[in-house]
Chain A
């Protein structure tokens, strides 16, 4: 603490007001609570960004410090060392050394480590402190440390390291005075004293570990007792019999709940959109403009926005699984099964998050060291049923599948079909993985090393931030791509104008395009309207729902929320409906995914192969399904 006070006294007179923004890099090993700290410091004032030329994503945010000034915080990837071997390590290394393009060398570093595992985490302190940047060493999880009977002499440790040290609990927000004091100090010349413990000259792991042990001993570090709760929970979650059962229950509960718990909220949102649409519609006297707003915009965008609650619920579940530490156990349980398909347990985590969205999932494959395993995981991730498929599935299921019980109170027929579609995507994924790993991506059985973090309560703060983040992405897309598509479709459906009258929709430009593609999709049981939907859904899967909402809305202006389901029932056969579900289960209808695959695999080769493969498979399977159902019924 003395260091910080010393600096503010020593820097009289005050320096000129800085014109350049001050940058603080947050560095730490994985599982040290880096993200929690970053969220605590920046709150909602953060955004995700990419460094130019690399795939590593990082978050940047503003931190308000004393006197209304602002400091920019960068959350760097979790690393154990600064040797630039993996991409994560290279980015951290380059940023800290000021070698990253478009980013000045940081003014200061927040080095965060888990205080319950200090001796091991201190290993990273040696290379970071050697950089000579003003550094605050943050010992996180202070509450856990003291509860489990551990302790550390902060002042002594600070002397040994030659840098200020703060003992905090990022999840509870305790001990942050010192962090903010330090951040306020970074806008001035920050202090550094010579460390009492000479930093290791050769920084290999054993040397750094030995140095860390000495620093820990000098800093009177008392390691805490083992995490008893984690041991007890693992005895249940990793039990040979109970473990896999719990795993299955968790997965089934996840799907059951996104279908049922979200329903009341979705009905509410639906009602709100419908009444907002008709209220705004009543204010517009011009019939053409009225039609554009009500049929085009509200039917189009509204039918997609309805699915926000469902998508948020899915992200909430995955967030809880990840933050609590259960996901690492699930990866452990899944490893043997994944190995059978040529993959490994680490692929399980990206594949599970692909149920929410393939884009972050594909980014998450960076934790897989083996390149071939990683490419295989990237290629199969879009088969997992992402949340953008939910609007399509929910709509078609509600329209064509009767609401009957299948297994007593456990599973309704609709939830069963939904679960079936999830399984279908999963089967396609493992089939493809098998195919890839036994041909083009053949490799030796790769190693699997995964750290099991202690179980922790997920915090409302970090879960909340995830949901806010997700809502922003979803609504931004609804407000841009889907809105634009809805307007374009509406306009094209009203052209060409004959004698001042818009044409019958079948004769409009949309109708003409639709009829042109109809021969190609007729064998799948789709009509020209679905064809238009398929074209627009190349942008993003859920766009088809908006497009159909607009087209059917124009066709029958009295159609409201229930109307789209009703109109589809009239217009599509059962075979066509099921074929559409199958088509969406397999097809890669998502520009964002194509873009991220190109970036992560470093070229167009894999995304082109992937797109062709998935679309071909979707077409073939939809064709077979439609023909089979039509023949049977």
Chain B
């Protein structure tokens, strides 16, 4: 499981452009959110909590068994279940510049 391979968390998480969604990020890695494949209501709620396209996301601790897991985004820590995290799709190519809003903050 991902937990076993987990690397020591660094203060600067390594970008992992290969990860397709949040569940594929390992401890100490980060990804840029591309879109939320969720019903409007859930997507809005997550956006209010900081899950906006263009923001960097890093996985943190989890409940025993790895689900739900805490994700660090935009200065907050939010716990999500596996099935929700899978629907948060990460940006695949790192060449595309992030929107200004995301780049300047925190």
Binding site for B on A (CB under 8 A): 80-81, 85, 116-117, 119-120, 123, 205-206, 209-210, 212-214, 216-217, 223, 226, 234-235, 238, 240-241, 243-244, 328, 332-333, 335-336, 345, 369, 445, 447-452
Closest to B80 in A: A449
Q: Which residues of A are found within 8 Å of B50, using beta-carbon distances?
A: 120
Q: Are A120 and B70 in contact (CB under 8 A)?
A: no
| Cα–Cα distance between A35 and B41 once the two chains are bound (Å) | 27
The dominant DSSP class at the A interface is helix
Complexed CA–CA distance, A243 and B38 (Å):
31
Within 8 A of A (CB), among B51-87: 52-53, 60-65, 67-68, 70, 72, 74-81, 83-84
**Residues of chain A within 8 A of B68, CB atoms compared:** 332, 335-336, 345, 448, 450
Q: Assuming the A-B contacts A80-B48, A205-B48, A336-B63, are A210 and B99 also in contact, with contact meaning beta carbons closer than 8 angstroms in the complex?
A: yes
Closest B residue to A444 using CB positions: B83
* Known A-B contacts A238-B63, A449-B49; A332 and B101 likewise in contact (beta carbons under 8 Å): no
Q: How distant is the Cα of A117 from the Cα of B99 in the complex, in angstroms?
A: 20
- Do the beta carbons of A452 and B47 come within 8 Å of each other? no
Sample (13) of A-B pairs whose CB atoms are under 8 Å apart: A80-B48, A81-B48, A116-B75, A205-B47, A206-B52, A217-B104, A240-B64, A328-B79, A332-B68, A333-B64, A336-B63, A445-B83, A447-B83
Taking the complex as formed, is B46 at the interface, i.e. its CB lies under 8 A from any CB of chain A? yes
B69 CB to nearest chain A CB (Å)? 9
Which residue of chain A lies nearest to B67 when distances are taken between CB atoms in the complex? Answer: A336
Residues from chain B with a CB closer than 8 A to the CB of A445 are: 81, 83
Q: Which partner residue on chain A sits nearest B66 by CB separation? A: A240
A244 to B64, CA, bound (A): 8
A335 and B74 contact, Cβ closer than 8 Å, known pairs A80-B48, A206-B52: no
Q: Which residues of A contact B105 (CB under 8 A)?
A: 119, 212-213, 216-217, 223
CB closest chain-A residue, reference B51:
A449
Interface centre among A123, A205, A226, A369 (most CB of B within 10 A): A205
Most buried by B among A85, A123, A210, A216: A210
**Number of B residues contacting the other chain (C-beta, 8 Å)?**
41
Excluding A213-B101, A447-B81, 16 further A-B contacts by CB distance (< 8 Å) are A119-B74, A120-B75, A205-B47, A205-B52, A210-B101, A213-B104, A223-B105, A226-B11, A226-B72, A234-B70, A335-B63, A336-B67, A345-B79, A447-B38, A448-B84, A451-B77
Assess the B63–A332 pair: CB atoms within 8 A.
yes
SS of B interface (majority)? mixed
Contact B64 A450 (CB under 8 A): no
Residues of A within 8 A of B104 (CB): 213-214, 216-217
CA distance A606 to B72 in the complex (A): 39
Given A238-B62, A447-B81, A448-B80, the answer on whether A117 and B75 have CB atoms closer than 8 Å is yes
B74 CB to closest chain A CB (Å) equals 5
Which single residue of chain B is at the shortest CB-CB distance from A119? B105
Residues of B within 8 A of A85 (CB): 41, 44
CA distance A369 to B61 in the complex (A): 24
Listed from nearest, the 3 A-B pairs whose CB atoms lie closest are A210-B101, A80-B48, A238-B61
B27 to chain A, nearest CB (A): 12
Task: Assess whether B84 is in contact with A450, with CB atoms less than 8 Å apart.
Answer: no
Q: How far is the CA of A360 from the CA of B32 in the complex (A)?
A: 40
Contact flag A447-B75 (CB < 8 Å), given A209-B101, A369-B41: no
Q: Which residue of A lies closest to B39 (CB)?
A: A447
Contact between B81 and A369, CB atoms less than 8 A apart: no
CB of B3 within 8 A of CB of A206, answer: no
Q: Which residue among A216, A234, A336 has the maximum number of chain B CB atoms within 10 Å of its CB?
A: A336
Return chain A residues, CB-CB under 8 Å to B101: 206, 209-210, 213-214
Q: Flag if B63 contacts A209 (CB, 8 Å).
A: no
For the complex, is B95 an interface residue (Cβ under 8 Å from A)? Answer: no
Contacts of A205 in B (CB 8 A): 44, 47-48, 52
* Measured CA separation A235–B105 after assembly (Å): 26
Question: Bound complex: CA of A451 vs CA of B74, how far in Å?
Answer: 12
Residues of A within 8 A of B63 (CB): 238, 243, 332-333, 335-336
Contacts of A206 in B (CB 8 A): 47, 52-53, 101
In the complex formed, the residue of B with least CB distance to A239 is B61
A119-B75 CB under 8 A given contacts A238-B61, A238-B62: yes
Chain B contacts of A333 at CB under 8 A?
63-64
